């Protein structure tokens, strides 16, 4: 029995990363690459949904799936934000060697994820139709959109469990096993897409059902990993409970992060509504371009998540000087990745968009969006890394307020002022790089103030 336990502990250690000692660049890249690949794989499988729908169910079905993304993100982001709070706190307790607090945090986080998922099922099913109508979804699309969204939300408990479980593993440096689980579930998703849509002609319902099944598989695998572990972050199902002080701390960090994501989605919902006014062909082009951009964004966003985990562990271990090095490395790498991938995506946009649709007008609208978003996408990555650094140090309300003012509010004002005067997609899309630049500058100032205050405080204690 003791040998089995030692074997499990050794296996767990193999996947963990010591973020508080030794050179940072190599460890950051070891952490980042599986995390980035997980995000890219997730998008590949989502792209498979869209490609299968677009090719075998038509442009109306493609527009229907795409028109729900902003609304889904709006409803889901608040609860996904709580997983950010779990990530920060697990990393902090792990870095500080506080075993009891770490275990309580893990069990609180997992039970919270299941409760959040059940709430999202109810909300998603009830608001799908009225919310999509409010967004001005065209009549030829809305029936498919509502059906897709209602089936999709039935998988929310599994999606939440996977996200919170993965957050726990990321916090201790393990980004490899979530990648393996996602790969397996994603392959199942693609196979089921083809079976449901092509063989059974289920259209958007088939795509949504395949997604739900794959989410259940990934959730089961990540929870099994935590249950089978013998590390301090082991999940014991009979000990699942919500510890009030841990929940409060998770809410304090996670809710502002979730609110930021949810309110960001409001601006994206408004932009989607504005795109909807140009018709279903423009919607289809926008959907395809957004999906391609997602690969660039996910590759950059992995540095945001890397910054959270590395900063959280070093903050817990009180190694504050390393946080400055983490900031420089993550910023340098996100700029490089954003410039390379963003410009490569735009350069190949014509070819890539043909994967989604062969209609010339759909491709033209997609290329228009990518000319504004992809070329400047590194600005978005720079902005997000600053947010990750601040959240890793426990500051969540500050970056939320800055992001909401500099990006979300700015875009809303832009839509109701500038866009109303110049109703073109060019005018709509250029609001993105302008808002990213403004928000990054303010985040940088906030980080410098917080970081140097932290160093000064450490020197006087």
Please write the tens of the pLDDT for every residue from 231-243: 888 999 888 899 9
Q: Of all residues in the chain, what percent carry a pLDDT higher than 70?
A: 91
> Does residue 16 belong to any structural domain of this protein?
no
Q: What pLDDT is attached to residue 12?
A: 59
* From 159-173, 258-272, 334-348, 415-429, the region with the lowest mean pLDDT: 258-272
Residue 360: burial class (beta carbons within 10 Å; 0-12, 13-18, 19+): exposed
- Residue 351 resides in a domain: yes
Give me the domain span that covers residue 278: 23-460
First vs last C-alpha separation in the chain: 46
Q: What is the mean pLDDT of residues 366-383?
A: 91
Q: What was the pLDDT predicted at 239?
A: 86
Residue 7 lies in a domain: no
Residues 259 and 400: beta-carbon distance below 8 Å: yes
pLDDT (mean) for 48-53: 72
Residue 173 domain-assigned (yes or no): yes
Q: Is the pLDDT of residue 318 over 90?
A: no
* Residue 14 domain-assigned (yes or no): no
pLDDT score recorded for residue 5: 52
Give the pLDDT of residue 88: 87
Range list of H helices, 16-138: 25-56, 59-67, 69-96, 99-134
The burial of 401, by beta-carbon neighbours within 10 Å (0-12 exposed, 13-18 middle, 19 or more buried), is given as middle
For 99-132, the pLDDT digits (tens) are 999 999 999 999 999 999 999 999 888 888 887 7
Q: Is residue 180 part of a domain?
A: yes
Over 90: is that where the pLDDT of 378 sits?
A: yes
- Please check whether residue 13 lies inside any domain of the structure: no
Mean pLDDT of the chain: 85
What pLDDT shows up at residue 55?
A: 66
**Does residue 108 contact residue 242 with C-beta atoms inside 8 Å?**
yes
- Write down the pLDDT at residue 461: 62
- The pLDDT of residue 51 is above 90: no
The lowest-confidence range among 4-13, 304-313, 396-405, 432-441 is 4-13
Would you tell me how many other CB atoms lie within 10 Å of the CB of residue 449?
11
- Quick check: 66 pLDDT over 70? no
| pTM for the structure as a whole | 0.80
Average pLDDT over residues 63-85: 74
CA count, 13 A, side-chain hemisphere, 116: 28
Angstrom distance (rounded) from CA 304 to CA 403: 14
d(CA 296, CA 280): 25
12 located within any domain:
no
Query: How confident is the model over 274-295, as a mean pLDDT?
Result: 81
pLDDT (0 to 100) of residue 10:
58
Q: For residues 8 and 407, which has the higher predicted lDDT (pLDDT)?
A: 407
- Tell me which residue of 179, 166, 305 sits closest to 223, measured CA to CA: 166
Q: Report pLDDT for 222.
A: 94
**How do residues 197-229 score in pLDDT, each as one tens digit?**
788 877 788 888 988 999 999 999 999 999 998
Average pLDDT of the residues in 8-23: 74
pLDDT at site 311: 93
What radius of gyration, in Å, describes the C-alpha atoms of the chain? Answer: 22
The DSSP letter of residue 175 is -
**How many domains would you assign to the chain?**
1
Q: What is the mean pLDDT of residues 314-327?
A: 90
pLDDT bracket for residue 396 (50, 70, 90):
confident
């Amino acid at each position: 029995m003791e040998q089995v336990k030692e074997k499990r502990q050794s296996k767990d250690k193999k996947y963990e990363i010591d973020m508080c000692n030794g050179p940072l660049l190599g460890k950051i890249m070891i952490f980042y690459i599986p995390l980035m690949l997980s995000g890219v794989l997730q998008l590949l499988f989502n792209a498979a949904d869209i490609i299968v729908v677009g090719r075998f169910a038509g442009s109306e079905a493609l527009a229907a799936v795409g028109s729900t993304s902003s609304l889904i993100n709006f409803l889901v982001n608040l609860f996904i934000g709580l997983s950010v709070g779990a990530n920060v706190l697990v990393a902090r307790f792990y870095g500080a060697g506080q075993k009891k607090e770490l275990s309580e945090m893990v069990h609180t986080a997992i039970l919270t994820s299941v409760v959040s998922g059940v709430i999202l099922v109810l909300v998603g099913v009830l608001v799908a139709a009225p919310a999509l109508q409010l967004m001005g979804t065209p009549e030829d699309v809305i029936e498919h959109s509502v059906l897709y969204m209602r089936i999709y939300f039935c998988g929310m408990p599994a999606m939440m469990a996977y996200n919170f479980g993965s957050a726990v593993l990321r916090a201790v440096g393990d980004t490899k096993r979530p990648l393996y689980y996602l790969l397996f579930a994603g392959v199942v998703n693609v196979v089921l897409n083809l079976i449901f849509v092509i063989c059974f002609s289920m259209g958007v319902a088939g795509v949504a059902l395949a997604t739900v099944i794959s989410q259940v598989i990934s959730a089961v695998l990540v929870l099994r990993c935590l249950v089978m572990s013998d590390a301090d972050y082991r999940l014991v199902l009979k000990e699942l409970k919500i510890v009030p002080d841990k929940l409060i701390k998770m809410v304090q960090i996670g809710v502002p992060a979730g609110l930021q994501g949810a309110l960001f989605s409001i601006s994206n919902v408004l932009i989607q509504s504005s795109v909807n006014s140009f018709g279903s062909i423009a919607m289809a082009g926008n959907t395809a371009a957004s999906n391609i951009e997602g690969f660039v964004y996910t590759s950059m966003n992995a540095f945001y998540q890397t910054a959270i985990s590395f900063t959280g562990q070093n903050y817990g271990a009180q190694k504050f000087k390393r946080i400055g090095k983490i900031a420089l490395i993550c910023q340098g790498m996100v700029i490089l990745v954003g410039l390379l991938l963003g410009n490569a995506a735009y350069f190949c946009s014509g070819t890539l968009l043909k994967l989604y649709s062969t209609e010339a007008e759909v491709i033209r609208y997609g290329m228009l969006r990518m000319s504004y978003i992809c070329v400047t996408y590194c600005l978005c990555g720079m902005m997000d890394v600053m947010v990750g650094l601040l959240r890793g140090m426990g500051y969540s309300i500050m970056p939320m307020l800055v992001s909401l003012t500099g990006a979300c509010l700015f875009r809303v004002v832009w839509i109701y002022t500038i866009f109303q005067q110049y109703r073109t997609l060019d005018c709509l899309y250029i609001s993105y790089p302008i808002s990213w630049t403004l928000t990054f500058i303010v985040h940088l100032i906030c980080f410098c103030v917080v970081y140097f205050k932290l160093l000064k405080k450490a020197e006087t204690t």
